[in-house]
Amino acid sequence: MSLPTIALTKDLYSDLKDKLSLPVTDNPNDYDYCLAKIDGRLALQSKKFMPFFIDFSSLAHRCEQAQYQREPLAKACGITKEKKPFIVDATAGLARDSFILASYGCPVLLLEKSSLLSVLLEDALKHGAPLEAIGRMVLLHRNALDYFSQMPEIPDVIYLDPMFPENKKSALVKKDMQILQDILEHDDNNGDALLEKALTTKTKRIVVKRHRHSDFLGDRKPSHQIQGKTLRFDVYCQNKNEKQIC
C-alpha cells in the first residue's frame, strides 16, 4: 500500500518537511492530506473531513468534573489519592487517555510512532500549555517497541491502546477515532507484539484497553480486568503483591 502524500503550506514547509516520514509536497492541488495553520493552530485537512486539530480544552472540562476514583481507567492504572504512578502511554494517538491520566495527577510519557500525529500532538501540547495536566505530559515521537528495549527509567505502568481493526466500520466509533483510523490506515497492527515486549520489561503493571468483547491481546490472560460500559481494561501485574493493590 502506498503512503499518503502530505501537502504543507509554504509557511510550514521548511519547519515540517524533515519531521514527517511521509511523502511531502508543497503543491496544494496534489495531496491526500494537508497540514495548515488555522487560527494559529496546526490543522489536518482532507477532502474527507473538516479541518481537524487536537484540542484538550473540552476534555479538560470533563476531567474537572469526573471523580477519578470511579473511573475504570484510573482503577486499572492503580491511581489513588495518594498514588500517582509514572505512566508510559506507549500508543499515544490523540492523547485523550494520556491527558485524562495526567489530569488525575500522573506524570505521563507519550510515545507515538506516527510522524503526522506527533507533529499534531506537539502543536496541541504547546497550545494547551496553560492547562495544568499538560505540564505532566512529555511527548516522544518513537516506536514503543524500540523504546521498551532501552528505557532510561522504568515506569510504574505501561499503558497500551492499540487500534481496534475489527471496529473500523462501526457507527459507534467516535468522529476523532474515525479520523485516526483514516490517517493511520497504513498502520501495522502490532498490539500483540507491544504486549509481549512490554512484558519483557521490569514494569510491574501493564494495562491494555480493549473493546468489551475483544479477545485478549496475544491470547494472554490478564491478572484481572476492569470493566467499563463498552470497554474493558486488561491488567497484567508482574508483581504478585500488586494484584492485591489493583
Ligand X SMILES: C[S@@+](CC[C@H](N)C(=O)[O-])C[C@H]1O[C@@H](n2cnc3c(N)ncnc32)[C@H](O)[C@@H]1O
**Which residues are at the interface with ligand X (CB under 6 A)?**
90-91, 93-97, 111-114, 117, 143-145, 161-163, 180, 184, 187, 190, 194
What's the min distance (Å) between Cβ of 61 and ligand X? 17
Query: Which 8-state DSSP code applies to residue 239?
Result: S
Largest separation between any pair of C-alpha atoms in the chain: 59
Pick from 134, 146, 169, 159: which is nearest to 60 by CA?
134
Using the minimum distance from each CB to ligand X, give the nearer residue, 111 or 133: 111
Gap between the Cα atoms of 64 and 176, Å rounded: 21
What's the min distance (Å) between Cβ of 231 and ligand X? 11
Gap between the Cα atoms of 211 and 167, Å rounded: 9
Helix runs in 30-78, H state only: 57-65, 72-76
Using the minimum distance from each CB to ligand X, give the nearer residue, 89 or 156: 89
Write out the H or E segment, with its range, that includes residue 37.
strand 33-38
Using the minimum distance from each CB to ligand X, give the nearer residue, 148 or 236: 148
Q: Which three cell numbers stand for residue 68?
A: 477519578
What's the min distance (Å) between Cβ of 142 and ligand X? 7
Using the minimum distance from each CB to ligand X, give the nearer residue, 81 or 136: 136
Q: Which residue's CB atom is positioned nearest to ligand X?
A: 93
Query: Which residue type, as a one-letter code, is found at position 166?
Result: E
Gap between the Cα atoms of 76 and 221, Å rounded: 15
What's the min distance (Å) between Cβ of 103 and ligand X? 12
What's the min distance (Å) between Cβ of 13 and ligand X? 24
Using the minimum distance from each CB to ligand X, give the nearer residue, 168 or 243: 168
Using the minimum distance from each CB to ligand X, give the nearer residue, 132 or 146: 146
What's the min distance (Å) between Cβ of 176 and ligand X? 7
Query: Which 8-state DSSP code applies to residue 117?
Result: H
Label residues 176-212 b or e (16+ Cβ within 10 Å = b).
ebbbbbbbbeeeeebbeebbebbeebebbbbbbbbee
